Amino acid sequence: MASNSQKISVVTGGAGFLGSHLTDRLLAEGHRVIAIDNLITGNLKNIGHLAGNQNFSFIKHNVSNYIFLPEEKLDYVFHFASPASPIDYLELPIPTLKVGALGTHNTLGLAKAKRATFILASTSECYGDPLVHPQKEDYWGNVNPIGPRGVYDEAKRFAEAMTMAYHRYHDMDTKIVRIFNTYGPRMRLRDGRVVPAFIGQALSGTPLTIFGDGSQTRSFCFVSDLIDGIFRLAMSEFHEPVNIGNPREMTIKQFAEEILRITGTKSKIEYKPLPIDDPKVRQPDIGRAKKILGWEPRVPFEEGIVQTIDYFRGCLERGELGERSKI
């Protein structure tokens, strides 16, 4: 049972990659955590180590439907539930739109009813295929609403609009974190994102599949850095969106070459067509996070990627291929 002063946090998407790391951090900070997840892209293995922890509970529920919790008061509601990798949201377009729209409405409603601070996991995809580089929070973006990625991008843009409306109209304490590409242990090996894709291919000796000519750029943030930024934002008084990500930018070709070098694999590179509306560049301007949160990433790419490779090596050895659950 929570003591009177113990903070209670709800984490939707708590069995996912980021939600499970966030849960660990909140527990380490002394919170009681209620994770809610329908396991559509997540996995109970990500929270298996928390079984028996009296400060942790798990509820299997789709947050696009009404959320009932008996607690009279909650302190924080972190809304992290959503398919997040391009192949997941392309295969799950309607659940993605629903969790961004209805799920955000329900979790905001929960936070309002329980007088909690609300934190939305938004995304760099709000900037679409950006015409401003690096991306600052005051850039409105270049999103194709009816393209295949629109289901994710527009759901998140709607979620941001809904969050600001609850902040302005209901005077709620809300925060919006725009998360840039993040990697680390507990990603699904087969979630299609470039980090698990290339590492999985390198470790199994199959070709690394570069989409397009590999000149598109991304900037990769290690998960512990990201979670630290999110925790600081949650504890802050700031209500406008904040970019959290690592500004170190590289082309996808350079990233492939790094994976080849670090793993020492004999895998070759294979070029495949670039997906529709794939952003050509992406790099966070983290000036706001530095100024307001005193935050910047600390884990060098070379260090984070080795930890991630070790994690995926373990998954492959155990035969955990990271297929999405069939529910």
- Summarize as ranges the residues that interact with ligand UDP (CB under 6 A): 85-86, 181, 192-194, 197, 209-211, 216, 218, 252, 275, 278
Pick from 93, 71, 73, 74: nearest CA to 83: 93
Contact of residue 13 among ligand UDP, ligand NAD, none (CB under 5-8 Å per partner type)? ligand NAD
- Residue 8 pairs in a beta bridge with 32
Q: What residues numbered 169-188 form the site for ligand NAD, per CB under 6 A?
A: 179, 181-182
Contact of residue 284 among ligand NAD, ligand UDP, none (CB under 5-8 Å per partner type)? none
DSSP states along 146-169 = TSTTHHHHHHHHHHHHHHHHHHHH
Q: 38, 107, 201, 283: which one contacts ligand NAD (CB under 6 A)?
A: 38
Min. distance of Cβ 161 from ligand NAD in angstroms?
A: 16
Q: Does 99 bind ligand NAD (CB under 6 A)?
A: yes
Q: E strands, the chain, where?
A: 8-12, 32-37, 56-60, 76-79, 117-123, 174-179, 182-183, 208-211, 217-219, 221-222, 241-244, 249-251, 269-272
Nearer to ligand UDP, 278 or 320 (CB): 278
Q: Does 33 bind ligand NAD (CB under 6 A)?
A: no
Nearer to ligand NAD, 83 or 214 (CB): 83
Q: Does 267 bind ligand NAD (CB under 6 A)?
A: no
**Which residue is catalytic, options 76, 127, 152, 166?**
152
Decide: helix, strand or coil at residue 74.
coil
Nearer to ligand UDP, 33 or 244 (CB): 244
Q: Does 243 bind ligand NAD (CB under 6 A)?
A: no
Using CB under 6 A as the binding criterion, the count of chain residues that bind ligand NAD stands at: 29
For residues 265 and 205, the answer to whether their CB atoms sit within 8 Å is yes
Active site residue 76: no
Alpha-carbon span 208 to 243, nearest angstrom: 30
Nearer to ligand NAD, 152 or 166 (CB): 152
Nearer to ligand UDP, 91 or 173 (CB): 91
Q: Does 82 bind ligand NAD (CB under 6 A)?
A: yes
Pick from 80, 79, 89, 86: nearest CA to 109: 79
- Residue 189 pairs in a beta bridge with none
Q: 8, 10, 63, 230: which one contacts ligand NAD (CB under 6 A)?
A: 63
By the criterion CB under 6 A, which residues form the site for ligand NAD?
12-13, 15-19, 36-42, 62-64, 80-84, 99, 103, 121, 123, 179, 181-182
The residues annotated with a catalytic role in the active site are 152
